[in-house]
Chain A
Amino acid sequence: MDEAKEELAVKYVLGELAWLKEQRFRAALTQDRELREFTCEIEEAFALFALAAPPAAPPSDLPARIVRENPKIEGKNFIRGTLVPWALAACLALMCAVLAGSRIRTERKLTRLRDKEVRLEEALADLRRQDLLSQLKITTLQAQIDAYARARAVVIWDEAKNAGLIEMHDLPAPPPGKNYQLWVIDPKSPQPISAGLVPYPASGLGRVNFTPAKAVGTAGAFAVSVEKAGGSQTPQGQIVLLGK
Chain B
Amino acid sequence: MDESENQFNAELMRRVARGDDRAFSALYERLAPALYGMALRMVHDAAEAEDVLQEGFTYIWRKAPSFDPCRSSVFAWAVLIVRHKAIDKLRIRQRDERLRESATGAADLETGIDEQSVQEPILRERRAEVRCALEQLAPEQRQALELAFFGGLTHEQIAERLETPLGTVKARIRRGLVKLRSFVTGGLHGRS
Contact = CB atoms under 8 A, between A and B. Distances in A.
Interface of A: 3, 6-7, 10-11, 13-16, 38, 40-59, 62-63, 65-66, 69-70, 72-74, 77-82, 122-123, 126-127, 130, 132-133, 156, 165, 169, 203-205, 207
Given A43-B80, A81-B26, A58 B32 contact: yes
Contacts, number: 197
Given A16-B154, A78-B28, A3 B174 contact: yes
13 contacts: A10-B174, A47-B73, A47-B75, A50-B79, A50-B149, A56-B36, A58-B50, A62-B50, A65-B50, A69-B58, A72-B21, A81-B29, A82-B29
B29 to A, nearest CB: 5
Contact of B2 (A50, A55, A207): A207
Given A16-B154, A55-B33, A205-B125, A44 B76 contact: yes
Contacts of B100: none
A76 to B, nearest CB: 9
- A contact face: mostly helix, strand, loop, or mixed: helix
Contact of A53 (B23, B37, B121, B133): B37
Contact of B53 (A10, A11, A15, A58): A58
A34 to B, nearest CB: 13
Interface of B: 2, 4, 7, 11, 15, 19, 21-26, 28-29, 32-38, 40-41, 50, 53-54, 57-58, 61-62, 71-73, 75-76, 79-80, 82-84, 87, 109-111, 113, 115, 117-127, 130-131, 133-134, 145-146, 148-150, 152, 154-155, 170, 173-174, 177-178, 180-181, 183-185, 189, 191
Contact of A48 (B11, B29, B134): B134
A80 B25 CA distance: 8
B57 A56 contact: no
A56 B50 CA distance: 11
Contact of B72 (A44, A56, A169): A44
